[in-house]
Amino acid sequence: MARRVREARAQFAYKTGSLDAPGTLSKNFRAEEMAWLQENMTHLSSMCPGEWIAVDGAQLVAHADTLPALLDAARRAGHPNPLVTAAPREPVLS
């Protein structure tokens, strides 16, 4: 059963464009999140310096002091698989 679920998820990801072929990540995987982070890094460093942050699409879905708290908050917000990183502690210089 677990194998069928994995195969179904892989086929769905392939059909929706998050995978190039079953089992391989697309070069555009998480591109939207990475672009959003790049545009908002300065704001994040002042809003939640040094905290863990969760981004899904072009949206900050949670931030927290600890990784378990972040994952719990993201899951409760309806985002079980966000991109996770840490906000910089210092302001970002361009």
Is 62 buried (19+), middle (13-18) or exposed (0-12) by CB count in 10 A? buried
Q: What is the pTM of this model?
A: 0.70
Averaged over 4-27, what is the pLDDT? 60
Domain map of the chain by residue range? Answer: 29-86
pLDDT at position 50 is 94
pLDDT at 16: 55
Per-residue pLDDT tens digits for 17-68: 555 555 666 778 899 999 999 999 999 999 999 999 999 999 999 999 999 9
Burial, 56: exposed, middle or buried (Cβ in 10 Å; 0-12, 13-18, 19+)? buried
